């Protein structure tokens, strides 16, 4: 990656051999001065390269008002934001080879406040796609791309084991290949299928669906990653290929709606799949469950102070702020406390837009992880449970609880885990 | 014989000036105003001093009102609105409604001068909290305080020690749909900043801006004195949000020149709200069948060479009903409208 350090021209270093100033001998290096580097020209080629891309146009709209930077989650722990990116590219920085390219989590908080609609959600994948084609990709992200390509999931787990978690779910989890037809197709996604903490949430949801008598099925080994985060990280080819495969698979079955655990899958299936011919009614599990709460029997009082982290791709990207809160407030003994940054202005866990696979890279550019910052905020408001409903968040926040020394003070729970806990052992 | 009168809708600065112009040229001016008095928004919203010359708005509006009220050629209809219109150039029939009922009047030409309304900061996409925090106010609210010589924090009645303006609220914003610059807010904020410094010399005043748009003499009449004589601090970088900590407001944003975050305590935050077409402007466009632009201002069709002719022959528009305008613009376009309206009466009469 290209270094962005300013070089100093030796001719611009002034160092007088013999100088005595007010009786003080300041000869040689003691009077060394650097002449400020002169900006000779503005290399507009770099900005032109970005704005020529489909999706990159709006970077050129920036009029430098600076409203985006204070709400950029990366800027809070680093030095970042769309206005700064625009300015540096305008000054000739090659965004395609710049570390600036990979820090955006596509959380969309900048677009929310931007009067010119400079759209990082379009700009980032467009520029990253070019960077990927030219091979300027951080290694760990490249690994996640390759895992997805080889195994159908970014974790690099065996595709044959995608439904392995269902065996000890304790309740039936029907597979569409056998069932053919269901009211609800549950698109489980990768982290809820493979990550141990994701599996905990999947088992909890399976139990609740059974309890409610929902007629559902999963795709099991036929399911592939929706690749929404890979798409936003620049692997658009991979996204398209998998979208076509998933659409083809789902065509074989009859169902009325798709239920998702992962807001990133929600985003892909709801907003992107229609472009490839897959038009579905897609709902996040919190939206699905919120109106059915009275059908669940809560026997266990929880006595938790809970704060809720709005996932970027459920809240800002897809407009759902109420359902998770409705569920939490329905649980006996739960006191819901809001963090300062919540709802539309919620902070970001750092996992979106490829951030899930860039922690090593990001460590060089930020003072602490976004997830660490968020955990501190949760502790500050006096919560003892940080509730989440995106599978990226459980693992990210649990790591952050440990690294910030908050073990014993705060636990991280998926909302569905709290629902099952409140239902009790029966 | 075509009608030899011009009907003017709106008794603000533009409408009054248009009526006076028509009357001075020897034609009958029928001036219709929905309020019980003339003076328009500067009067209704209690403006203190006018921009850029600092003249008392009350005194200036009274002078304009006197000029039309006492003019033998002006027929004044206060507390009246236009509810219908028919006919064409030389022969319009307009229905006026007041508390007593409806009446029909004839006019050969019409001038619309129904003006603007201040942008409602409840619609801004940022989080400035106008309806949440008492000490977040607008240019209009501050104008009223300045006029009463009582600039205090609404929350506790105390004079502010630190006051700031946030520019471009409701203007230059694609998300809100107002992509235009409201043109006057930079000047008005700077004028109000000077007045605050005059009335409260101990109060520090800041203006957070994207670009300062102080064209022509406004630069030397307002901007430079504000900075040089009255020590107003101009900071490039617009605030993103206003928060409250204890009883203090905190303005969060970015100092765009340095690229550094800022969190600045303030006692009063003034939102520099821009202009939108008034309800009357939208209504008149409908009644007279006038083309409007995408922001619902009345469209003038003559480009740069004719700023008052609308899509309907015999109907002219002036002042802020055609787009953001300062007082100087409004008075100029009102005179132009009076001239064009009288010209068309004369041409129609000669042709008949």
DSSP states along B187-238: HHHHHHHHHHHHH-TT-EEEEEESS----TTHIIIIIHHHHHTS-PEEEES-
**Same domain for A201 and A260:** yes
**Same domain for A194 and A75:** no
Question: Which among A250, A285, A249, A253 has a CA at the least distance from the CA of A266?
Answer: A285
A63 with B211: Cβ contact below 8 A: yes
Q: How far is A231 from chain B (nearest CA, A)?
A: 26
Contact criterion met (CB below 8 Å) for B352 and B2: yes
Domain for residue A231, yes or no? yes
Which residues numbered 254-273 in B keep a CB inside 8 Å of some CB on A? 254-256, 259, 261
**Reduced 3-state DSSP string for B78-122:** CCCEEEEEEEECCEEEEEEEECCEEEEEEECEEEECCCEEECCHH
**Same domain for A285 and A221:** yes
pTM of the model: 0.85
Chain A CB contacts of B235 below 8 Å: none
Q: Output the domain CATH number for residue A253.
A: 3.40.50.1860
**Same domain for A400 and A305:** yes
pLDDT at position A1 is 42
Domain for residue A15, yes or no? no
Domain for residue A32, yes or no? no
- The residues pairing with B56 across neighbouring beta strands, listed in sequence order, are B49
pLDDT at position B124 is 83
Please name each of the domains of chain B with its CATH number: 5-115+278-351 (3.50.50.60), 119-274 (3.50.50.60)
**Same domain for A275 and A233:** yes
**Same domain for A117 and A180:** no
Domain for residue A341, yes or no? yes
Cβ within 8 Å of residue A65, ≥6 positions away: A83, A115, A116, B168, B210, B237, B238, B256
pLDDT at position A10 is 67
Where do runs of H (alpha helix) occur along B70-108?
A: none
Q: What is the b/e burial string over A334-371, where b = at least 16 CB atoms within 10 angstroms of the residue's CB?
A: bbbeebebbebbbbbbbbbbbbbbbeebbeebbebbbb
**Same domain for A224 and A264:** yes
Which residues numbered 96-125 in A keep a CB inside 8 Å of some CB on B? 112-117
The boundaries of the domain holding residue A60 are 45-134
In tens, the pLDDT along B265-318 reads 999 999 999 999 999 999 999 999 999 999 999 999 999 999 999 999 999 999
Q: How far is B48 from chain A (nearest CA, A)?
A: 30
* Residues in chain A, pLDDT under 50: 1-5
Domain for residue A5, yes or no? no
**Same domain for A380 and A344:** yes
Q: How far is A405 from chain B (nearest CA, A)?
A: 27
Domain for residue A9, yes or no? no
Q: Output the domain CATH number for residue A362.
A: 3.40.50.10700
Helix/strand/coil for B250 = strand
Residue B177 near chain A (CB below 8 Å): no
Residue A1 near chain B (CB below 8 Å): no
**Same domain for A163 and A268:** yes
Contact criterion met (CB below 8 Å) for A296 and A211: yes
- The residues pairing with B248 across neighbouring beta strands, listed in sequence order, are B245
A66 with B253: Cβ contact below 8 A: yes
**Same domain for A256 and A191:** yes
Which of A243, A262, A290 is the last residue in one of the domains?
Answer: A290
For chain A, the 3-state helix, strand and coil shares in percent, each to the nearest 5, are: 50, 10, 40
Helix/strand/coil for A151 = helix
Contact criterion met (CB below 8 Å) for B196 and B49: no
**Same domain for A321 and A283:** no
A65 with B210: Cβ contact below 8 A: yes
Contact criterion met (CB below 8 Å) for B65 and B16: yes
The two tokens of residue A192 are: 């809820």
φ/ψ of residue B249, rounded to 5: -85, 145
Half-sphere exposure of B21 (CA within 13 A, CB side): 24
Residue A4 near chain B (CB below 8 Å): no
Which of A226, A261, A290 is the last residue in one of the domains?
Answer: A290
d(CA A420, CA B348): 84
Question: Which among A74, A388, A106 has a CA at the least distance from the CA of A229?
Answer: A106
The two tokens of residue B195 are: 């007045």
d(CA A68, CA A81): 6
Domain for residue A19, yes or no? no
Domain for residue A278, yes or no? yes
Tell me the Cα Rg of chain B. 22
B254 with A116: Cβ contact below 8 A: no
Tell me the Cα Rg of chain A. 25
Which of A290, A312, A337 is the last residue in one of the domains?
Answer: A290
Residue A210 near chain B (CB below 8 Å): no
**Same domain for A279 and A163:** yes
Contact criterion met (CB below 8 Å) for A378 and A338: no
pLDDT at position A250 is 98
What total number of domains does chain A contain?
A: 3
d(CA A169, CA A366): 39
* Residues in chain B, pLDDT under 70: 1
Q: Which residue of B has its CA nearest to A80?
A: B259
């Amino acid at each position: 990656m290209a270094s962005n350090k300013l070089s100093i021209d030796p001719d611009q270093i002034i160092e007088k051999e013999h100088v005595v100033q007010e009786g003080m001998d300041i000869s040689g290096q003691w009077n060394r001065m650097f002449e400020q580097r002169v900006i000779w020209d503005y290399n507009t080629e770099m900005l032109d390269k970005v704005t020529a891309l489909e999706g990159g146009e709006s970077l050129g709209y920036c009029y430098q008002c600076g409203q985006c930077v204070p709400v950029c989650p990366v800027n809070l722990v680093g030095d970042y934001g769309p206005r700064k990116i625009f300015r540096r590219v305008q000054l000739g920085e090659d965004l395609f080879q710049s570390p600036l390219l990979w820090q955006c989590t596509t959380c969309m908080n900048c677009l929310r406040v931007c009067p010119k609609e400079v759209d990082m959600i379009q700009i980032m994948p467009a520029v990253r796609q070019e960077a990927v084609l030219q091979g300027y990709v951080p290694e760990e992200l490249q690994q996640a791309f390759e895992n997805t390509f080889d195994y159908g999931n970014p974790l690099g787990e065996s595709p044959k084991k995608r439904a392995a978690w269902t065996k000890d779910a304790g309740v039936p989890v029907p597979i569409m290949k056998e069932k053919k037809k269901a009211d609800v197709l549950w698109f489980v996604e990768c982290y809820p299928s493979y990550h141990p903490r994701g599996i905990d949430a999947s088992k909890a949801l399976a139990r609740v669906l059974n309890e409610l008598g929902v007629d559902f099925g999963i795709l099991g080994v036929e399911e592939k990653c929706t690749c929404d985060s890979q798409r936003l990280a620049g692997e658009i080819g991979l996204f398209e290929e998998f979208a076509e495969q998933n659409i083809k698979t789902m065509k074989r079955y009859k169902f009325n709606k798709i239920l998702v655990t992962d807001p990133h899958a929600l985003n892909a299936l709801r907003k992107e799949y229609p472009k490839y011919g897959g038009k579905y009614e897609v709902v996040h599990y919190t939206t699905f469950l919120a109106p059915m709460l009275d059908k669940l029997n809560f026997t266990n009082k929880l006595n938790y102070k809970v704060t809720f982290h709005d996932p970027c791709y459920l809240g800002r990207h897809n407009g759902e702020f109420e359902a998770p809160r409705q569920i939490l407030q329905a649980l006996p003994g739960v006191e819901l406390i809001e963090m300062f940054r919540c709802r539309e202005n919620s902070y970001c866990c750092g996992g979106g837009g490829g951030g899930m696979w860039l922690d090593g890279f990001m460590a060089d550019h930020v003072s602490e992880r976004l997830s660490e910052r968020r955990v501190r905020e949760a502790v500050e408001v006096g919560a003892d449970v940080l509730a989440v409903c995106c599978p990226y968040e459980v693992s990210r926040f649990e790591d952050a609880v440990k690294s910030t020394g908050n073990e014993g003070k705060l636990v991280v729970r998926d909302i569905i885990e709290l629902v099952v806990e409140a239902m009790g052992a029966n | 014989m075509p009608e030899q009168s011009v009907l003017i809708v709106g008794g603000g600065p533009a409408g009054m000036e248009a009526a006076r112009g028509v009357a001075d040229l020897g034609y009958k001016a029928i001036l219709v105003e929905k309020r019980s008095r003339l003076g328009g928004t500067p009067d209704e919203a209690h403006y203190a001093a006018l921009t850029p010359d600092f003249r008392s708005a009350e005194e200036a509006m009274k002078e304009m009102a006197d000029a039309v009220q006492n003019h033998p050629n002006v027929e004044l209809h206060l507390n009246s609105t236009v509810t219908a219109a028919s006919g064409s150039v030389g022969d319009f029939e307009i229905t006026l409604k007041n508390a007593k009922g409806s009446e029909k009047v004839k006019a050969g030409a019409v001038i619309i001068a129904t003006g603007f309304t201040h942008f409602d900061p409840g619609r801004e996409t940022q989080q400035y909290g106008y309806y949440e925090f008492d000490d977040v106010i607008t240019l209009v609210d501050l104008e009223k305080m300045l006029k009463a010589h009582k600039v205090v924090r609404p929350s506790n009645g105390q004079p502010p020690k630190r006051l700031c303006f946030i520019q471009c609220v409701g203007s230059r914003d694609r998300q809100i749909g107002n992509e235009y610059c409201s043109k006057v807010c930079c000047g008005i904020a700077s004028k109000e900043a000077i007045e605050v410094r005059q009335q409260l010399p101990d109060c520090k005043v800041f203006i957070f801006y994207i670009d300062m748009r102080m064209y022509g003499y406004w630069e030397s009449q307002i901007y430079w004195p504000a900075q040089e004589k009255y020590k107003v601090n101009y900071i490039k970088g617009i605030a993103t949000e206003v928060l409250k900590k204890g009883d203090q407001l905190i303005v969060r944003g970015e100092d765009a020149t340095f690229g550094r975050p800022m969190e600045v305590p303030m006692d009063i935050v003034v939102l520099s709200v821009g202009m939108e077409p008034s309800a009357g402007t939208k209504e008149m466009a409908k009644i007279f069948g006038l083309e409007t632009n995408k922001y619902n201002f009345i469209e003038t069709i003559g480009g740069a060479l004719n700023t008052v002719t609308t899509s309907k022959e015999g109907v002219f528009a002036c002042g802020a009903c055609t787009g953001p305008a300062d007082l100087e613009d409004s008075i100029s376009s009102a005179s132009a409208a009076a001239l064009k309206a009288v010209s068309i009466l004369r041409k129609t009469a000669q042709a008949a």
